[in-house]
Amino acid sequence: MKVVCVTGMPACGKEEFLKIARSKGFAVIRMGDVVREEAAKAGIPVKDPDVGNFANEERKKHGFDIWAKRTLPRISSGLSLVDGVRGPTELAVYRAAFPDGLCVVAVHSSPGTRMRRMMKRKRKDDPANEKEFRARDARELNWGLGEVIALADHVIVNEGDLTTYRTQATAIIEKIISEGK
């Protein structure tokens, strides 16, 4: 069994990495889907500040690893990719569950690049302006996202064109499949 945890700041390019991984046979499990499902059950609107605050409150109540623990049962055998690891305690849950088959990939893009991407894609949970963008970054960094990025086995810098990024991502995925890490 191979499990890849993908991490990175919002709009860095994780979604494209997931598409490529899917095409190579990976099952994709999104921690954000688990958060949004739980938020919906609690009647929380699907807007970034609301869902983010809900996720943060759940971390305070149940521990910073709560979202990893709630996501873990969704991981099956074979090739699995977990999207959205936000902190070292979440990563520790996956490392404990998959001590020999875990790999961490971080995707990095500058804040300016990420903000432009968000303004262009206009996903309903994206920040509406620069102030919200900065607040979201601060919140996620406060959860320990920077530490997870620093601990990654592979890092892809996504500042160029989509073709270059896809080539880099495909190479990393193929390396993980062939080497086991």
Q: What is the CATH number of the domain that holds 19?
A: 3.40.50.300
Q: How far is the C-alpha of 152 from the C-alpha of 140, rounded, in Å?
A: 17
Average pLDDT over residues 42-60: 85
pLDDT category, 51, cuts 50, 70, 90? confident
Q: How many structural domains comprise the chain? A: 1
Q: What pLDDT is stored for residue 128 in this prediction?
A: 82
Average pLDDT over residues 114-141: 87
Residue 149 pLDDT exceeds 60: yes
Q: Which residues pair with residue 81 across a beta bridge?
A: 4, 28
Domain around 135: 2-179
Half-sphere exposure (CA, 13 Å, Cβ side) for 65? Answer: 12
Per residue in 72-122, pLDDT (tens digit) is: 999 987 899 999 899 999 999 999 999 988 999 999 999 999 999 988 887
Q: What pLDDT is stored for residue 48 in this prediction?
A: 67
Neighbours of 40 (CB within 10 A): 13
Neighbours of 25 (CB within 10 A): 10
Q: What pLDDT is stored for residue 180 in this prediction?
A: 57
Mean pLDDT for all residues in the chain: 92
79-83/27-30 β-pairing: parallel
Average pLDDT over residues 123-138: 86
Residue 3 pLDDT exceeds 80: yes
Q: What pLDDT is stored for residue 67 in this prediction?
A: 96
Q: How far is the C-alpha of 71 from the C-alpha of 52, rounded, in Å?
A: 17
Q: Torsions phi, psi of 176, nearest 5?
A: -60, -45
Q: How far is the C-alpha of 106 from the C-alpha of 84, rounded, in Å?
A: 10
CB of 84 closer than 8 Å to CB of 135: no
Strand order in the sheet with 102-108: 27-30, 79-83, 2-7, 102-108, 154-157
CB of 123 closer than 8 Å to CB of 14: no
Residue 181 pLDDT exceeds 60: no
Lowest mean pLDDT segment, chosen from 49-63, 102-116, 146-160:
49-63
Q: How far is the C-alpha of 55 from the C-alpha of 35, rounded, in Å?
A: 6
Residue 125 pLDDT exceeds 80: no
